[in-house]
Amino acid sequence: MKLVYPVVLYPSGVPGGYTVLCPDMPGLVTEGRDLPEALDMAVDAASGWVLGELEEGRRAPHATNIADVKPEEPSGIVTLIRLDMDEYAAKYGKRSVRKNVTIPAWLDTFGEQHGINYSEVLREGLEHRYRALQQA
């Protein structure tokens, strides 16, 4: 899932540095020593913020139209950041959910006899399908 959000950059107390706020993500504040680092930090912080929402079963926030975002100070810069949530979640996602599945009894016997970890098999199969669909 690719997402785009507006952010506002303000010059920070560090010469050449910026503080970044995202109006669609309450409490999100990050900084960088220069503009490229500030934008990288904004993408990382916003991705983490959205991943937290998704892992709690909530939706990613709706992105405000960039034309509607006005900086609170004249020195503020409004721009867009792009989040690749699939890539970020694959790298940093931590939360697991428990699922109850039903399989034939003979297959359960086979799995137990061979020490098969059902959770691992299911996760690997779902990840394989997920990657195949992403490439399609």
> Hey, is 132 helix, strand or coil?
helix
Alpha carbon distance 126, 96 (integer Å): 13
| pLDDT in the model for residue 5 | 97
Long-range contacts of 31-35 (CB under 8 A, 24+ apart): 35/9
Residues in contact with 17: Cβ distance below 8 Å, sequence separation at least 6, in sequence order: 11, 31, 32, 33, 34, 38
Please report the pLDDT score of residue 45 as a whole number: 96
pLDDT at res. 96: 67
Residues near 47 by Cβ (< 8 Å), separated by ≥ 6?
83, 84, 85, 88, 92
Q: What is the pLDDT of residue 95?
A: 66
What is the CATH architecture assignment of 2-92? 2-Layer Sandwich (3.30)
pLDDT value of position 120: 86
Positions in the chain whose pLDDT score sits under 50: none
Rounded CA separation 27/104 (Å): 49
